[in-house]
Chains A and B, each alone.
Chain A
Amino acid sequence: GAGVSQSPSNKVTEKGKDVELRCDPISGHTALYWYRQRLGQGLEFLIYFQGNSAPDKSGLPSDRFSAERTGESVSTLTIQRTQQEDSAVYLCASSPYSHRGSTGELFFGEGSRLTVL
């Protein structure tokens, strides 16, 4: 498809298990963002990629969270030893560019809903 694709759309897991969430950005978009949205809340910035590089990982909530991007395309967000407070919708967005003084439009996927029992 032409839009941002995320998988799985829904994931139910047990506390302590690891989960991997995948994001396929729009082809050619160099910037990629991950956000977390808890129920009824706004978007919490997690990490930003420019190409394959993540200049700032300070938004990741703990060392249980990690993310990578390969080939300037697919990105994966991994959560190790999941906790109940990790339950949220994880949104991925891509943008055609990001340069000094301006950010292009962010195109979002529909998100991956994670439930930790």
Chain B
Amino acid sequence: TQLLEQSPQFLSIQEGENLTVYCNSSSVFSSLQWYRQEPGEGPVLLVTVVTGGEVKKLKRLTFQFGDARKDSSLHITAAQPGDTGLYLCATGDNYGQNFVFGPGTRLSVLP
């Protein structure tokens, strides 16, 4: 089973600041997904990245997939209180089994 690491574990910033969170593995990802979880709810998919070097943008969120497909980053520009939540990266093996999540980055954006 692939193990995922995420950093930082916690992040507290002021509204309007920029931030980047990271997801890493010692193994190559077949594909990688980023989810956001708000309190009392299940995670919701933000993006799926598949190709090494891929960059995807979702409004103020920019996702990068490392060239070697062993790491990924999520950059948020001008963070807002609505961005507060637990950001999780996730991946599965070639058959979708053991679809595992990283420990997450807990983001708090203060107004």
A residues touching B (Cβ–Cβ < 8 Å)?
4, 31, 33, 35, 40-43, 45, 48, 50, 55-56, 59, 91, 93, 95, 98-103, 105-106, 108-111
Contact = CB atoms under 8 A, between A and B. Distances in A.
Contact of A35 (B30, B45, B101): B101
B102 A56 contact: no
Contacts of B50: 102
Contact of B43 (A59, A98, A108): A108
How would you classify the secondary structure of chain A's contact residues: helix, strand, loop or mixed?
A: strand
Contacts of B1: 45
Given A42-B88, A42-B104, A43-B88, A103 B44 contact: no
B63 to A, nearest CB: 15
A101 B91 CA distance: 10
Given A42-B86, A98-B97, A105-B48, 14 more contacts: A31-B96, A43-B88, A43-B101, A45-B98, A50-B96, A56-B98, A93-B42, A98-B96, A102-B31, A106-B43, A108-B41, A110-B40, A110-B42, A111-B42
